[in-house]
A = this chain, B = another copy of it.
Amino acid sequence: MRNLKMTITYDGFKYKGWQKQKETDLTIQGKIEAVLSKMTGEAIQLVGCGRTDSGVHADNYIANFHTKCAFSINTMLDYLYEFLPEDIVIKSMENVAERFHARYNVKSKTYVYRINNNKFRDVFNRKYSYHLAEKLNLTEMRNASEVLIGSHDFQSFTNSRNSDKSTSRTINYINIIEKDGLVEIEVNGNGFLLNMVRIIVGTLIEVGKGNLKPIDVKKILIEKKRWEAGPLAQAKGLFLRDVQY
């Protein structure tokens, strides 16, 4: 059996997220598995590096699958390129060790959230950024983001109702940069709970607007109550940028 690792980019705008679902045909995993299964004649099951929410984009999503198919990597890439929808592209593929697992082996992931902080919407990026005309205080947002760095229980920052599993995660860094009114919030961590990046961003936006202070974010983290944190930021601004193994 071969084990193949793929790097995938997708415009998530019209999809219900990465994970295959019985209720809908519109998932990234479902679209790719269908083409791979047709290509190989096998029932291919993809192992993805994690779930991305409905509407979230990816620059470099990682997945792997096992197959007996002997096609060359270029042949497979060409086949996938031709038969996948125009908003999903497999950028590269490589043979990896049998034991490689796209989810279990993740060391960390980098997400980027894009906010158009100019007065008007950007007609060319309206599906790939969240528009907020009110000027954000980036210094306060950076101060608040420092509270979140390190290992913490992020229970306040998830919409998951699964209380059996640990909600402890480690955030390695949060960078907030701005260029021509486009604010990018880059978050790197060892793992993320359901909606965690978007709730962190939603909370930092409240800080940027002056509705919360950095010290409030510390309280929110300690009190472990979802309703104290900010709202869920819109999916269309979020990109899975990279996965580190």
- Residues of A whose CB lies within 8 Å of any CB of B are 9-11, 57, 81, 86-89, 91, 120-121, 123-124, 126, 128
Bound complex: CA A88 to CA B123 (Å) = 7
**Interface-central residue, A10, A121, A123, by most chain B CB under 10 Å:** A123
**Interface-central residue, A10, A11, A128, by most chain B CB under 10 Å:** A11
Contacts of A126 in B (CB 8 A): 11, 86-87
Copies in the complex: 2
For the complex with contacts A11-B126, A87-B123, A124-B128, 15 further pairs of A-B residues with Cβ separation under 8 Å are A9-B123, A10-B123, A11-B123, A11-B124, A57-B124, A81-B120, A86-B121, A86-B123, A86-B126, A87-B126, A88-B123, A89-B120, A89-B121, A89-B123, A91-B120
**Interface-central residue, A87, A88, A91, A120, by most chain B CB under 10 Å:** A120
Least distance between A189 CB and chain B CB atoms (Å): 24
The closest CB in chain B to the CB of A59 belongs to B124
Contacts of A81 in B (CB 8 A): 120
Contacts of A89 in B (CB 8 A): 120-121, 123
Contacts of A128 in B (CB 8 A): 124
The closest CB in chain B to the CB of A127 belongs to B124
The closest CB in chain B to the CB of A90 belongs to B120
Least distance between A179 CB and chain B CB atoms (Å): 15
Contacts of A121 in B (CB 8 A): 86, 89
Bound complex: CA A152 to CA B11 (Å) = 44
